Structure 1
């Protein structure tokens, strides 16, 4: 039995993988599953983003992408494809990082995962230090509440959680604000009114959970 499991958040800046390249060209937020490295050297990519034909075109024009498939559900595009370009996340996985979430925005990536024990953490930190553009953002012990997704824990929908998370990361809740509602809505690929409605519903849900 391992004594401790740690949550690790890593930022990646300047990666040249297909998803990073595509989000530099198209202002959308891409939520990806951890890439699966196959025996033939290709990585299986599965990811989703707000519906935007420009993203599909950018990926389709990338010579490193093979067998791109897109399906649209409730205003979001779900993608599957193969990539022959190695991803930075593989470097961290190889030394013990268990990736739980992976988000691309404006060419940068945010990786959240877990490591089992401080020895593995040291290996991840060493590899992050050796890899250009990779920085360790946060480390903290995994608690019981962290075993459940935020949306499940607080009774939020996935869209409400995405609206809250994106607004927080872009500085919408900072004092003074570093961005406005229109910018956050653009990052989410939705209208300003749709963003504000999701935000109000999420805030009401959180208030109800806190104050009954």
Structure 2
């Protein structure tokens, strides 16, 4: 069964350790990972006058550039060192999908979805083998209760939540339906059908349309 795991690791053992040493107030939020070459990281908690020099001296950062700003937050495109890219590859090798990753006070907290509990265990062991102080703070099966409570199938619920996580409903969209279908390992047509049925169920539950009437309409 698909499993959600929450990992905590020090930045000193992974990415941006030196940057946090120089800027302790820094807050980082990584965008969901689609590719590992260049990653999007939101920075806040300090000004660019401190963040830029710290990134320049951080051995885990190869290149970086500002691609977007929002008040006191900045989205950077970062190419991490091979060592850090290998850590991402390690998680991907176990079928892991990064849902969220944030760093504060020199510590990364990441939520990941794995195909099964065994994949979580192997990912943990492989990280520990690299002398990374990893702590699993939460471990739970992908629940179907929220889906059932509003009439969605587990597949429809997963499609919608994954779409939200990867910015499919943002304006402009941050991922195409074809790319999203690849993430879910289903065809584009299958994803469109899941969305159509899920939308119908959500609309019906929101405006209290009788299910029998809904069946006649659709």
Deviations 1:72-123, CA, capped at 9 Å, x for gaps: 2222111012222422343333223221111122322111111112332332
Could you tell me how far apart the structure 2 residues matched to 1:130 and 1:66 are?
Answer: 24
- Structure 1 unpaired stretches of 5+: 38-42, 153-212
Q: How big is the shift at 1:47?
A: 0.5
Could you tell me how far apart the structure 2 residues matched to 1:136 and 1:98 are?
Answer: 16
Q: Report the equivalent of 1:93.
A: 92
Contact 2:10 2:106 (8 Å CA) reproduced: yes
Q: How big is the shift at 1:15?
A: 3.6
Classify the secondary structure of the residue corresponding to 1:96. coil
Contact 1:92 1:127 (8 Å CA) reproduced: no
Superposed CA RMSD: 2.7
Contact 1:128 1:135 (8 Å CA) reproduced: no
Classify the secondary structure of the residue corresponding to 1:36. coil
Classify the secondary structure of the residue corresponding to 1:138. strand
Classify the secondary structure of the residue corresponding to 1:86. helix
Q: What's the TM-score once normalised by structure 2's chain length?
A: 0.55
**Count of matched residue pairs:** 142
Deviations 1:132-180, CA, capped at 9 Å, x for gaps: 211222101112448577xx8xxxxxxxxxxxxxxxxxxxxxxxxxxxx
Q: Report the equivalent of 2:55.
A: 59
Could you tell me how far apart the structure 1 residues matched to 2:59 and 2:7 are?
Answer: 28
Is 1:21 the equivalent of 2:24?
Answer: no
Contact 1:49 1:78 (8 Å CA) reproduced: yes
Q: Report the equivalent of 1:138.
A: 138
Could you tell me how far apart the structure 2 residues matched to 1:35 and 1:25 are?
Answer: 29
Over alpha carbons, which structure has the higher Rg? 2
> Following superposition of structure 1 onto structure 2, how do residues 139-178 of structure 1 map, counting pairs within 5 Å?
139-144=139-144, 145=146, 147=158
Name the CA shift for 1:120/1:57 in 2 (closer, same or farther; >3 Å). same
Contact 2:60 2:83 (8 Å CA) reproduced: no
Could you tell me how far apart the structure 2 residues matched to 1:65 and 1:5 are?
Answer: 32
Could you tell me how far apart the structure 1 residues matched to 2:137 and 2:126 are?
Answer: 14
> Following superposition of structure 1 onto structure 2, how do residues 73-84 of structure 1 map, counting pairs within 5 Å?
73-84=70-81
Contact 1:23 1:30 (8 Å CA) reproduced: no
Q: How big is the shift at 1:12?
A: 0.8
